[in-house]
Amino acid sequence: MPTTFKRILVGVDDSADALLAFDYAIHQAKRDHSELVIVSVLENDDMNVYQALDRDFVHGEYTDLENHVKKYQKQAEDAGVENVRMMIAEGEPGETIVKEVIPDVKPDILIVGSLAKKGVRRHFGSQAAYMAKYAPISVMVVR
């Protein structure tokens, strides 16, 4: 019998691979009648120090991202996923998802794209590789 998941966490960042991962997560959530949790991470290092100190700018960035992720939520609901929620986290995507989001959400699986929109990061390699290595749950990397 194939594995079923009660709660699926999917990371979105608008990269082509993340969109494929999102489509796969929708399909899996519908098949398993699972809860789908959509997460996007507001990356602080994309801001310069003046923007980071400007609460209005940070609030605006957060609100823009939240409104954007709501479109993903609607897309999943329109596709027939019964139980969808979204969340916004802040920080380095891989680390934030592994250390904060997964312990909070307690998903059965994390589904992510293989390439971050911003390209390969620093010495960690890709965010997907970091999550696959350190996440305490199964990680499906879609490409």
pLDDT digits (tens, 9 = 90+) for 102-135: 999 999 999 999 875 554 444 344 789 999 999 9
The structure's pTM equals 0.87
Q: What is the CATH number of the domain that holds 69?
A: 3.40.50.620
In 3D space, the residue among 80, 88, 69, 68 whose CA is nearest the CA of residue 28 turns out to be 80
Task: Write b or e for each residue in 82-93: b if 16 or more Cβ atoms lie within 10 A of its Cβ, otherwise e.
Answer: eebebbebebbb
CA-CA distance, 4 to 65, in Å (whole number)?
30
Q: Domain range spanning residue 79?
A: 7-142
Q: How many domains are there within the chain?
A: 1
| Residue pLDDT, tens place only, 48-93 | 666 666 777 667 888 899 999 999 999 999 999 999 999 999 888 9
Question: Is residue 66 within 8 Å of 98, Cβ to Cβ?
Answer: no
Instruction: Write out the E strands in 31-103.
Output: 35-42, 83-90
